[in-house]
Structure 1
């Protein structure tokens, strides 16, 4: 199979060097920048600060340039600030899973963004970067059965890390808030001298914490339980190596999406002494919430799972039973937010509704069903 790919890639390598780049213009990007309504929900009466979950509506054009991603996110921070939910040095903002991953397309030719499907867009990305792709494919260490996808992310990893840090450091510093910046796929990243740097290690789904001065914490959260389709190109991490972080409003623990379904994650949370929980998530397609739950993906069901629920209850009901709503009862967490990626990226749609907990009880989510409505949830602690 690798020989087949090699022949295919070598045939492409001559194409990539003769094509001229044709990026989307600033005028086009401004036209593609959507103006979404923003739903804001406030819960709690505390005065210590706020734990805020943000679910911005994003599109493929949001990732065309670094500035475009910033411009897509900034209105949510401004809206939270204008409505007395975002406080300087007393707020922690949680963003969705994979929010940084689509930076893989940033700075690329318009053909990537005019493609109808993700597969077409990624094929165009490979063709337009054929030389780099072939070099990484031939000479970088491979850890994954999906060498094509692994190589694609590896060749863009350095620019992805730089742009990710630039956008979220800027937002954190401008609004003087701390940010759990969702997640991004990078090859075993590290933080050295205040910068996110990549290594030649395996691809991981990772989350970074940005402080209110714009600096990035060197404690990286790595996803321990990637689902079946992620396992084809992502390495699972050891969750006992994920540390909690002291924030201005309390000690925070982060679980990336499916990690919040496993009892071991809550054992680590309890061991860390955390009183706050952030869960960045992404589910697809946009109607996944109403589909029948198929059980744990990529792993055996934990012993406390009622297997009669499989193919009987909805995905939403399963999240509420087996993720934070059901499992936080064994912890001392005061506030928790589980936020989901929203929007359409090429032919991929994302869904899900934020799950909230405050002072040991589940908080009802009152957001409507509008597809193009961004959401902000503020828990006063």
Structure 2
């Protein structure tokens, strides 16, 4: 009797594990419907032979990340619209928003993940659907929030591969220089033209791709991560800011809140930066109009011009982002581009803007995907 019970239990366990393995391996491709429209909401300057800064503020949702091909289809549609409007040339620098690459972590997943009601539920599906990858990542996770670290780390190699193939491919396809927003990866580096990941801390990093599809220089790592992510994403204290050469001039990249610190512009000035791109993200629907909450977890600059509550979040971004505002920055122009959309219960805010001669130009439209163009 005992042997029979043991045999029955063993067979049931094997059947359960087999069923789970088959379920976890199954990745059905659901129907894909997404709005590919985008409007040119800001167009400043006169076309010349000096190129232009072109910001793409996309409107993205989890289903856009079901595969890299789907995300490519949407972003390529945006660029095709810009091309039809005469906004792309060999000297164009396209700027994409912060974390546009980070959500590649949910690529190739099961329908249950995309249909989840909350981001917590979605991350649970991510772990359950990839048990081996998740457990390996959890073992090597760092910091106080090991669960979130594991979620971001578990598919890092594939994310790095897809990020370069997607955004390097778009740069080559449309013959532009492309600031590929940002992506969270463990110790990212470029080796022999290929983006690689390490085993250490997670960094929010941005890469600039040339029109040949290859990275220009090394990833720029963020120095002042968003307060809510500081227990997962490492602040880049040891690496200096770098400037890269593009057909339109020398370009510096400041990720998100890095653009709030005057010292960063002085570092870019010292390297002859003529243009500044700011990939950005503001979490929470309606946050743009609410009172600014200060530097939150990061040390304030030596001379802080604002105090929490003095202005709205949007006004703070305009005041603190010093692109093309002498003497704060000697660059001739700059652009801040925000990620918009809805990722489960996590909304977004932020209205992209461009800067030139101390003036900011922003779209007044809050919804939909936007193009912002500045002729140099």
- TM-score by structure 1 length? 0.89
Distance across 1 between alignment mates of 2:336 and 2:326: 12
Give 1:167 shift: 0.7
SS in 1 for 2:337: strand
- Residue 341 (structure 1) aligned with residue 372 (structure 2): no
Q: 1:239 to 1:279 in 2, by over 3 A?
A: farther
How many residues are treated as equivalent by the alignment?
A: 359
- Residue 25 (structure 1) aligned with residue 29 (structure 2): yes
Q: 1:326 to 1:229 in 2, by over 3 A?
A: farther
SS in 1 for 2:301: coil
SS in 1 for 2:155: helix
SS in 2 for 1:345: coil
- For 1:247, the equivalent position in structure 2 comes to 246
Provide structure 1 residue ranges, at least 5 long, that are not aligned to the other structure. 1-12
Give 1:16 shift: 5.6
- Residue 374 (structure 1) aligned with residue 376 (structure 2): no
Rg larger for: 2
Indicate which of 316, 319, 327 corresponds to 1:318. Answer: 316
Q: 1:174 to 1:64 in 2, by over 3 A?
A: same
Provide structure 2 residue ranges, at least 5 long, that are not aligned to the other structure. 1-15
CA deviation profile, 1:150-175 (whole Å, cap 9, x unmatched): 11221100111111111111111110
- For 1:361, the equivalent position in structure 2 comes to 358
- TM-score by structure 2 length? 0.90
| 8 Å Cα contact 1:263-1:302 kept in structure 2 | yes
| 8 Å Cα contact 1:98-1:282 kept in structure 2 | yes
- Residue 104 (structure 1) aligned with residue 108 (structure 2): no
Distance across 2 between alignment mates of 1:243 and 1:306: 26
SS in 1 for 2:225: coil
Give 1:355 shift: 2.2
- For 1:192, the equivalent position in structure 2 comes to 191
| 8 Å Cα contact 2:352-2:363 kept in structure 1 | no
Cα RMSD of the aligned pairs, angstroms, is: 1.9
| 8 Å Cα contact 1:281-1:339 kept in structure 2 | yes
Distance across 2 between alignment mates of 1:44 and 1:224: 32
Give 1:219 shift: 1.8
Matches within 5 A, 1:85-164: 85-87=87-89, 89-138=90-139, 140=140, 142-164=141-163
Distance across 1 between alignment mates of 2:84 and 2:191: 35
CA deviation profile, 1:16-72 (whole Å, cap 9, x unmatched): 63534443436x02xx22243423421112431111111011111110001011011
Distance across 1 between alignment mates of 2:20 and 2:354: 47
Distance across 2 between alignment mates of 1:236 and 1:362: 30
| 8 Å Cα contact 2:276-2:323 kept in structure 1 | no
Matches within 5 A, 1:225-244: 225-238=224-237, 241-244=240-243
Q: 1:361 to 1:312 in 2, by over 3 A?
A: closer
Structure 1 runs (4+) deviating above 4 angstroms are 13-16, 325-328
